[in-house]
Structure 1
Amino acid sequence: MIKYYNRKNKTYEIEKVAGEKVLEWAYTSPIGMKLLEAVIKKKMASSLYGWYLDRGISKKKVNPFIRNFNIDMSITEKEIKDYLSFNDFFYRKLKPSARTIAADPTSLISLGDGRVFAYENIDLDRLVQVKGFTYSLRELIKNDPIAEKYSKGTCLILRLCPTDYHRFHFIDSGICEATTKIKGAYYSVNPVALQKVQKLFCENKREWSIFHSDHFGDVLYIEVGATCVGSIIQTYAPQKRVNRGDEKGYFKYGGSTVILFFEPNKVKIDDDIAEQTQLGYESYVLLGEKIGVKKGGLNMEN
């Protein structure tokens, strides 16, 4: 059971997990763990399933998925009948009116829909994966000089469930450098898996880039793949200016994670998110929602 904090209602809710029974079995039973290591975490398994989800035959999965997880189709660009495959539906675009981008440029906004943890004054060698499990930023991006820039800075971890909108966006106007890709495994990023696999983020396939933002300094974006995520697709153009809220990319099928790192003294996270993180609960956020402010900005209220 995964409990998270709903900021809007100020209540705790239980996450409805896609494939929950299989996930529990794979990460908690002896046989499941053996199969996980031998097959499930491998690229071939995720690539094969991703290939199927790109085919028209997978379209039959769309309606049951919408019904089971109460997906709001009134805010999507396409109608159900127009999706060509399950993946086409999975990385669906939303209508421009579906999400509101906080207007104040000194407000830090969420890069997408999902559940967020926020850590301030971070230790690069003891980043929190879950309680009791830590990892190193140096190991995560395999670039020590860049990692050092974020010592004592701020880390945001946005977990996208399979039921979430699966595109990720820029938090500010600015220019993003080219993406560096790192090969790896395909473990789930669900909390069940995070509690079982040490240094999971450092084990999984991932991509990173430096975003030179206009208001928040040099922001390190890291996209982490997961089980059944056949591809991380970057849709932005490197070295070209982008606007706040513009799309950076999307994930194909599966739960995924985007991690942001900010340099010291650049942002202050909203109190409720920081408090819930300390209590061990993720906070549910939507693309464009205010989650913090620029330090020294015009608006330092939470």
Structure 2
Amino acid sequence: MDIDSRSPHQAITYFNRYTGQQEQEAIYGEAFLRWTYETRLGRIALALAAKRVWFSKWYGWRMDRPASRSKVLPFIETYGLDPDEFRDPPESFRTFNEFFYRKLKPAARPIDPDPQAVVFPADGRQLAIADVSQTDGLWVKGQHMDLPRLLGSPELAERYAGGSLLISRLCPTDYHRFHFPVSGTAGPARQIDGSLSSVSPVALRRRLDILWENKRQLTEIETDHLGTVLMIEVGAACVGGIFQTFAPGPVEKGADKGYFTFGGSMTIVVFEAGRVRLADDLLEHAAEQREVYARMGDRAAMANNP
């Protein structure tokens, strides 16, 4: 996404790593999102209902109803998804949520085998930040990343001062399982309570503080060559939940960590200062305030070994 301060009504674009082209994002529910965040009445509705946890639980319940199954095939057709990647055929999903957090065939997302490589934890539009202290103007002009609030701990934030971030923004049309970006030993996921605002580009252009006000979960991963890596899953409006499927202990890069139920959502990976070299295309487009579309398992960074 071009994340500058231009008109919020402008088309949302990103760079596609695989086609080598800038492309326009098809935003699911765009008309409703623009009404919610760009009109006075919509912002009132947002404050009263849309960002409340009960609203997302209610919407998630709807996506768990058998009647929601009728949405699956039209969704696949409208957004051009490839059923050949699915582990299970589209007809097997009993609800829309079962389709939404579907598993893929292993061959659909090969994992970079280099032991020094960090991989994307999720499909989506990726934004790299080489130094978290240099984020003024990120999505919203004049705002910066509040790391202590994002991590829910000023003490933890001190350990990552000057560190790097990898933000994976998933839209509803993306594969919604998330995976470990590195191998190591994972601790338990810690929940940080909050509201559930949209993390769509329409919303983030208005308010960056959504990232540290939304409900999220944080996992610490001890590694041999990258120090302690943090992985955060951020909930969003209409996300019925963040579900962890891993057991604390040894984990492998690319292994399934969990999934989001219906809605757009986001993961954030945080590295200690000087630990990684982010991929060139990520840095190139980040300098232009632009996201890069890339898939889970592909290379995002390399260990910065001394």
Q: 1:27 to 1:253 in 2, by over 3 A?
A: same
> How far off its partner does 1:141 sit?
2.0
1:54/1:86 contact within 8 Å kept: yes
TM-score of the two chains, using structure 2 as the length reference: 0.93
| Aligned alpha-carbon RMSD (Å) | 1.5
Question: Aligned letter for 2:116?
Answer: T
Name the residue aligned to 2:269. Answer: 260
> How far off its partner does 1:296 sit?
2.4
For 1:174-214, what per-residue CA distance to the aligned partner results, in whole angstroms no more than 9, with x for missing partners?
A: 11111111121111101110122241111111111111123
1:167/1:247 contact within 8 Å kept: yes
For 1:148-180, what per-residue CA distance to the aligned partner results, in whole angstroms no more than 9, with x for missing partners?
A: 111111011110110000011111221111111
Q: 1:247 to 1:127 in 2, by over 3 A?
A: farther
Q: 1:268 to 1:198 in 2, by over 3 A?
A: closer
Name the residue aligned to 1:99. Answer: 109
SS at match of 2:102: coil
1:124/1:150 contact within 8 Å kept: no
CA distance in 1, matches of 2:267, 2:229: 12
Question: Aligned letter for 2:59?
Answer: Y
> How far off its partner does 1:229 sit?
0.5
Name the residue aligned to 1:300. Answer: none
Q: Quick one: which of 122, 141, 145 aligns to 2:132? A: 122
> How far off its partner does 1:242 sit?
1.1
TM-score of the two chains, using structure 1 as the length reference: 0.94
Name the residue aligned to 2:229. Answer: 219
Question: Aligned letter for 2:264?
Answer: G
Q: Quick one: which of 211, 215, 221 aligns to 1:201? A: 211
Name the residue aligned to 1:230. Answer: 240
> How far off its partner does 1:119 sit?
0.8
Name the residue aligned to 2:144. Answer: 134
> How far off its partner does 1:126 sit?
6.0
CA distance in 2, matches of 1:65, 1:130: 31
> How far off its partner does 1:127 sit?
8.9
Q: Quick one: which of 257, 273, 278 aligns to 2:282? A: 273
Is there any run of 5+ residues in structure 2 with no aligned partner, and where? Answer: 1-10
Q: Quick one: which of 54, 62, 67 aligns to 2:77? A: 67
SS at match of 2:243: strand
Check if 1:241 corresponds to 2:250.
yes
The runs of 4+ residues in structure 1 deviating greater than 4 Å are: 124-127
Name the residue aligned to 1:10. Answer: 20
Is there any run of 5+ residues in structure 1 with no aligned partner, and where? Answer: 298-302
1:127/1:136 contact within 8 Å kept: no
2:140/2:207 contact within 8 Å kept: no
Check if 1:55 corresponds to 2:65.
yes
SS at match of 1:162: coil
2:229/2:269 contact within 8 Å kept: yes
Q: 1:160 to 1:287 in 2, by over 3 A?
A: same
User: How many residues are matched?
Assistant: 296
SS at match of 1:211: strand
1:27/1:33 contact within 8 Å kept: yes
Identity rate of aligned residues, in percent?
41
SS at match of 1:181: strand
Question: Aligned letter for 1:77?
Answer: R
2:230/2:270 contact within 8 Å kept: yes
Q: 1:203 to 1:120 in 2, by over 3 A?
A: same
Q: Quick one: which of 89, 93, 101 aligns to 1:83? A: 93
Question: Aligned letter for 2:198?
Answer: S
Name the residue aligned to 2:185. Answer: 175
Q: 1:237 to 1:262 in 2, by over 3 A?
A: same
Name the residue aligned to 1:109. Answer: 119
1:160/1:255 contact within 8 Å kept: yes
Name the residue aligned to 2:293. Answer: 284
2:132/2:145 contact within 8 Å kept: no
For 1:252-295, what per-residue CA distance to the aligned partner results, in whole angstroms no more than 9, with x for missing partners?
A: 00000101110011100111111101101100011111122111
